[in-house]
A = this chain, B = another copy of it.
Amino acid sequence: MSDQHQSRPGGRTARVRADVLRAVDDLTTEQPLAQLTLAQVAERSGVHLGTLYRRWGTLDGLLLDAVAERLTTGSPIRDTGNLHADLEDYAHRVAEDLSGPDGQLLLRTLVAVRLGTRAELPPALTRRFDEMQALLDRARARGENPPTLQQVVDIVVAPLYTALLFGTTPADPATLVDRLMRLHPDQ
Contacts and interface: CB of A to CB of B under 8 A. Distances in A.
Interface of A: 101, 104, 107-108, 110-112, 114-116, 121, 125, 150, 153-155, 157-159, 161-162, 164-168, 171, 175-176, 178-179, 182-184, 187
B108 A165 contact: no
A19 B181 CA distance: 50
Contacts of A159: 153-155, 158
Given A104-B115, A111-B111, 9 more contacts: A107-B165, A114-B165, A115-B164, A125-B166, A154-B176, A155-B179, A158-B162, A161-B165, A175-B187
13 contacts: A107-B165, A108-B115, A110-B165, A125-B166, A153-B159, A153-B168, A154-B158, A154-B171, A154-B176, A158-B159, A161-B162, A175-B187, A182-B184
Nearest to A119: B167
Contacts of A157: 162
A153 to B, nearest CB: 6
A180 B154 CA distance: 12
Contacts of A116: 101, 104
